[in-house]
Amino acid sequence: MTKTNFHVWRAAAAIGVSCLATQPLLAGSHPSSGARVVDGNTVFDITISLEENPQGDDDYAVDSGTGDDEQNAFEERIEEFARAVFQSTNGAHRIGKVTIFRDGASEDSADVRWEENCPSANSGPYAHVNGFLRSGARIRMCTNWAGAPSLMPTAKGSGYTLAHEWAHYAYGLFDEYVGSCGQSTLDVCSAMTPQFGDTPADPSIMNWQWGAALGGPDAANWLEFSTFGVEPYATDRSGNDENAQARMYGEPGWDTLVRDSATDPKFSTLSSRSYYADLVAPTSTDLLVNNDETPALGAPLEIVWAGSQAVGLMIDSSGSMIGTKVANAKAAASLLVGELVPGQTAIGVGEFDGYPSEIYPITDIPDPDTGVRSAAQAAIAGINAGGGTDIEAAALLGLEAIQNFDGGSRPSVAYLLTDGQSYVDQARVIDAYVAADVPLITFGFGSDVDDVLLKALADGTGGEYFFSPTTLADIQQAFAAANAAFSSSVLVSSGTVSAASSATEVRDVVIDSTLSLATITVIYDLDESDIALALLDESGNDSGIDFTCSADAEVSCVAEVDVAADGAGTYGVEIANTTGSEKDVSVLVSGAPAGFDNYDVAVEFDDTNYPYSFAISATVSYGLPLTGVDVVATVTLPDGSELDLTLLDDGRNSDVAADDGIYTVDVPYDADGTYSVVVTATNSSGNAQTTYNGIAISVPEDRDAEIETPVPSSVPEDFTRLALVSADVSGVEEDDHPDSLMETPMGCTILNDDNVDVVGRIDDAGDVDCFTMIPSDTSTDLVVRVTGLYADMEPVLEVYDASMSNVLLSADLSTSENPASGVILTIPAASLDASGHVVSVSHEDPGATSGGYAVSAGAALVSDEEDEPREPGDQGGGSDGSSGGAVGPWGLLVIGLLALVGLLRRRRAMH
């Protein structure tokens, strides 16, 4: 399923405890996922998609009788998970609303993808590190796992394992157990890899959560994060760099959690970490600050067994919609209703001008459909335009209808389409939708729409804003994209065919085996008889599947492929133009997945402020992330021109790591406004394969077991997936930082020595950005660095004395102390001047007109020194000599070995 980025606040933003009691702060990829503050502490609302369909009463509060045992088993696991999160954070964080989808519903957007069986002993539960809030990232859990045959089936074993993965996913912590990587001279182990010579953290949930599940007097200690004063950090806060957590952050888990993520090491492989200001580290080696887990249960913990989704659709019928606009809006809305999956959706329709009204009450679509969709479509067809526009009243009536349906208990989404402008009390609308946990998806229709208003309503409620010109093809594509983003449907492909005069063209469409039903829609602005359509099978013969057409302002023809009956493969849409002139015909393909595993592209494209980076990231997956896929984007710039870009998974520029299934490209920008993007992922080359790069697999229950690193598998089937997203740029200026002390009365930009990034970019050829730095301490060495490189930046870093008359030190990538992180330069204490220094950043190529970076200064970070892999067989071990765990997947992370990647990867500058 295509997913877009629904972040309300950036992951790097601190969750402050002074916020309103229930104010939502961070929204995840699914509308029901996010973080909020309740009574001064962070509460996480999460979503789980189960492959299974456990039977029960769908009621967490009332559990009785053996008929509810299957659901009770999952509820008990989640309760243990909630206890573990509460315990590990010393009572600061709690689990709130847990929404559970069954039969694979919402599996592409849920926080937790829960399989019935993990594939093998060496491929168990895993998590994307720093994945919370990131589109396409997830935790994988499983009910049964050969790596933990005795403990995984228990509530504690399963719940505590989920808490271990949660620490990767939500807190960005790394493993602290001993792996097998490094025993052989052929092993390539990154800093993130649990290695053969490591020292485990005893105790720590990031080492061996199974210790807590086994019970005993010290069981609770295994639910804690590591801290200074316990092994291996008993005498050295960095633990002698002897586990993955220490290598990546240079400190134990608690030290990392309580430090602002803005000061994190600048590893190119380290993605943005969320920072929670309400976490407080223990002040002694007694980890159990609060051993009472009772508050983890009860409010705010709530487990909801989700039913079918309720969809409310509000269509503008004001006077400005008369004619083509309302006709095309009705046609697109009718198509959306036709694509809703029976048995999984309820639909309601409203219209609004100066006053809103409900014209079809929300009604469940049964399976098989007994006419609900056609009744809703008939209501849409009866809409007539005329009157004023009241967007606020329409939005509130749509929400009221959703809340009145089935007690407001269903996962829900509201659509609002308008071409106009009106006064809206934004706070009133947003607060109402947030309180109801309903995202509002808004569609701006035509050139006069108030896109600022509609985007604010969508962003504020965890929805998405789509802008569409008034053509039927554009509106239908936007509706299909929204349906894919907020349901189990997928957007397969979209394109335009130019049919020559009196000629026949064939448009190939790929329908893969993971689809149960594919809907092919053909749109053209002609008389219906001007185009003859046929759907061809893979042999080029008529498939016998007919198109059904309807015509108003434009023609829309639909054919449905039952993949189980008709087969997967490449179909051909035959378009015969019977007119005397060339005609453009649009072809849109959408569908419903057949099972738990399906092809997906999840796109993240965030608003940015100049001079920060502006990057598109697309995660392509088939259960696991996929490498080797061809991913391209067409960007429509604010002036209406288009730019074609290729997204790469090569670890360069803004791409954090190579071959991790996340494809990235930097979007050049020089103007404020909205940038709209269509991202297409295809496997036409047949090179796709699964990857374990960038994810951390759980350690098995046998501490001494050694398992093989999971082996990627090829995915030869051709498939396509599409996503539509948009983002805004603001604050663009001619130059971001002064070029010299003489350029502005205020001098150069201030650079503090606190290791916090100051972002900059090369704005034109010969651009030199200058910074003033006054050391807070001249008794110790100070590091200045240029990291977060993107747009092919090749920086030159120079440090001057305070008068800017003498260059004290300079470096570029070829002379950097660690070129894998960027340009790193150490100023010896003896050379520091208390009156200050000037630092300049320029591009090595004086003709370069672009390039982005982040400059920082401060005490040395672990990322400032080149990685020195431990020699094979160099066994560290803990105080008891135990190995502490099994191999993780990190041996596959060739891209993580800093000595090998050279200049190819830079840490992305954070928004």
368 preceded by a cis bond (ω within 30 of 0): yes
Task: Give the orientation angle of helix 426-436 with respect to helix 391-404, to 10 degrees.
Answer: 20
Rounded to two decimals, what is the model's pTM? 0.91
Lowest mean pLDDT, pick from 189-193, 307-311, 899-903: 899-903
Residue range 457-476: mean pLDDT, rounded: 89
SS3 79: helix
- Whether 900 has a pLDDT exceeding 50, the answer reads no
Lowest mean pLDDT, pick from 56-65, 219-228, 501-510: 56-65
Is beta strand 807-812 parallel, antiparallel or unpaired with respect to 852-858?
unpaired
What beta strand segments (E) does 317-409 contain? 345-352, 356-364
* CA 376 vs CA 372, 410, 440, 490: distances in Å: 6, 19, 20, 22
- Give the pLDDT confidence score for residue 909 in this predicted structure: 31
pLDDT higher at 761 or 698: 761
Q: What is the mean pLDDT of the chain?
A: 87
- Give the pLDDT confidence score for residue 828 in this predicted structure: 96
pLDDT digits (tens, 9 = 90+) for 788-811: 999 999 999 999 987 777 899 999
* Rounded distance between C-alpha atoms, residue 840 and residue 743, angstroms: 13
Residues contacting residue 739 through CB under 8 Å, at least 6 positions apart = 767, 768, 769, 770
- Whether 891 has a pLDDT exceeding 80, the answer reads no
SS3 555: strand
pLDDT higher at 239 or 617: 617
- Whether 190 has a pLDDT exceeding 90, the answer reads no
φ and ψ of 268, to 5 deg: -70, -25
- Give the pLDDT confidence score for residue 856 in this predicted structure: 98
For residue 896, give the DSSP letter: G
- Whether 254 has a pLDDT exceeding 70, the answer reads yes
Contact 567, 489 (CB under 8 A): no
What beta strand segments (E) does 243-297 contain? 275-276
Burial 296-313 (b: 16+ CB within 10 A, else e): beeebbebbbbbbbbbbb
Q: How confident is the model at residue 599 (pLDDT cuts 50, 70, 90)?
A: very high
Q: How confident is the model at residue 102 (pLDDT cuts 50, 70, 90)?
A: very high
For residue 123, give the DSSP letter: B
- Whether 843 has a pLDDT exceeding 90, the answer reads yes
Q: How confident is the model at residue 908 (pLDDT cuts 50, 70, 90)?
A: very low
Q: Encoding tokens for residue 23?
A: 């104010």
Q: How confident is the model at residue 493 (pLDDT cuts 50, 70, 90)?
A: very high
pLDDT digits (tens, 9 = 90+) for 695-722: 888 889 988 777 667 889 999 999 999 9
795 preceded by a cis bond (ω within 30 of 0): no
- Whether 579 has a pLDDT exceeding 80, the answer reads yes
703: left (phi over 0), alpha (psi -120 to 50) or beta: alpha
Nearest to 77 by CA among 104, 107, 32, 112: 112
* Rounded distance between C-alpha atoms, residue 3 and residue 466, angstroms: 14
Is beta strand 139-144 parallel, antiparallel or unpaired with respect to 34-38?
unpaired
Q: Encoding tokens for residue 745?
A: 């009365």
Q: Give the residues across from 48 on adjacent strands.
A: 100, 112
SS3 641: coil
- Give the pLDDT confidence score for residue 890 in this predicted structure: 30
- Give the pLDDT confidence score for residue 707 in this predicted structure: 65
Residues contacting residue 3 through CB under 8 Å, at least 6 positions apart = 29, 108, 109, 135, 136, 484, 485, 600, 602, 603, 723
Burial 745-765 (b: 16+ CB within 10 A, else e): eebbbebebebebbbbbbbee
For residue 667, give the DSSP letter: P
* Rounded distance between C-alpha atoms, residue 617 and residue 724, angstroms: 12
Q: Give the residues across from 117 on adjacent strands.
A: 144
pLDDT digits (tens, 9 = 90+) for 359-377: 999 999 999 999 999 999 9
- Give the pLDDT confidence score for residue 873 in this predicted structure: 43
- Give the pLDDT confidence score for residue 27 in this predicted structure: 60
Contact 3, 603 (CB under 8 A): yes
Contact 443, 315 (CB under 8 A): no
- Give the pLDDT confidence score for residue 158 in this predicted structure: 97
Q: How confident is the model at residue 85 (pLDDT cuts 50, 70, 90)?
A: very high
φ and ψ of 445, to 5 deg: -125, 100
Q: Measured in whole angstroms, how far is the alpha carbon of residue 144 from the centre of its chain? A: 27
Residue range 380-408: mean pLDDT, rounded: 94
Residue range 120-132: mean pLDDT, rounded: 91
- What number of other Cβ atoms are within 10 A of residue 329's Cβ? 29
SS3 425: coil
What beta strand segments (E) does 610-672 contain? 615-622, 624-627, 630-636, 642-647, 662-666
Contact 141, 115 (CB under 8 A): yes
φ and ψ of 403, to 5 deg: -70, -30
- Give the pLDDT confidence score for residue 695 in this predicted structure: 87
What beta strand segments (E) does 638-761 contain? 642-647, 662-666, 673-682, 689-690, 695-697, 720-730, 749-750, 758-761
182: left (phi over 0), alpha (psi -120 to 50) or beta: left
Residue in this structure with the two tokens 């002036």, named with its chain if needed: 639
- Give the pLDDT confidence score for residue 540 in this predicted structure: 94
Q: Give the residues across from 600 on adjacent strands.
A: 621
φ and ψ of 93, to 5 deg: -115, 145
Q: Encoding tokens for residue 742?
A: 């003489």
SS3 237: coil
pLDDT digits (tens, 9 = 90+) for 653-680: 999 989 999 999 999 999 999 999 999 9
- The length of the chain, given as a count of residues: 911
- Whether 545 has a pLDDT exceeding 70, the answer reads yes
Residue range 202-224: mean pLDDT, rounded: 91
SS3 240: helix
- Whether 860 has a pLDDT exceeding 50, the answer reads yes
pLDDT digits (tens, 9 = 90+) for 414-430: 999 999 889 999 999 99
548, containing H or E segment: strand 548-551
- Whether 47 has a pLDDT exceeding 80, the answer reads yes
Residue range 464-492: mean pLDDT, rounded: 89
Nearest to 555 by CA among 537, 571, 536, 577: 577
Q: How confident is the model at residue 156 (pLDDT cuts 50, 70, 90)?
A: very high
* Rounded distance between C-alpha atoms, residue 888 and residue 179, angstroms: 6
* CA 558 vs CA 392, 523, 591: distances in Å: 34, 9, 12
